[in-house]
Amino acid sequence: MQIDIKEFLATQVTVIVDRPLGSRHPQHKYIYPINYGYIAGTLAPDGEEVDAYILGVFEPLSQFEGECIAIIRRIDDADDKLIVVPQGLNYGNEQIEALTEFQERFFVSVILRT
């Protein structure tokens, strides 16, 4: 069952990291400058699990528990992304845009917050 992604805002989530910092994208070949993964057992509008960028951790991970501080809502794609950080850490919208630019530059999006 598809979930309203906004329900994740200001909650603790566990991210399964399938693209750790420093790994290469399997199709587009760019290197991930941050950890990237998904929330197990969820269903996003694109038919896959809900994706998440992990900010504020500077080593490759396999799993991470943190707080969802924002959502990147893609206007031209059905694949929104959670922004997850260590408890108590925060990033402004400009920082989020800069840190996710490696992938988000290809889409039109807005940042949602509580």
How confident is residue 4, by pLDDT bands cut at 50, 70 and 90?
Answer: confident
Say yes or no to pLDDT of 65 above 90.
yes
Round the average pLDDT of the chain to a whole number and report it. 94
Residue 41, both tokens: 């057992």
Residue 34 is part of a domain; what is its CATH number? 3.90.80.10
The predicted model gives 71-100 an average pLDDT of 95
> How many distinct structural domains can be found in the chain?
1
The predicted model gives 66-92 an average pLDDT of 95
Question: Does the predicted TM-score (pTM) go above 0.85?
Answer: yes
- The pLDDT, as a whole number, for residue 2 is 64
pLDDT single digits (tens) 12-61:
999 999 999 999 988 888 899 999 999 999 988 888 999 999 999 999 99
How confident is residue 82, by pLDDT bands cut at 50, 70 and 90?
Answer: very high
- The pLDDT, as a whole number, for residue 47 is 87
How confident is residue 1, by pLDDT bands cut at 50, 70 and 90?
Answer: low
Q: DSSP string covering 55-111, please?
A: -S--S--SEEEEEEEEEEEESSSS--EEEEESTT----HHHHHHHHHHHHTTS-EEE
* Closest-CA residue to 20 (of 73, 50, 58): 58
- Domain range holding 107? 5-112
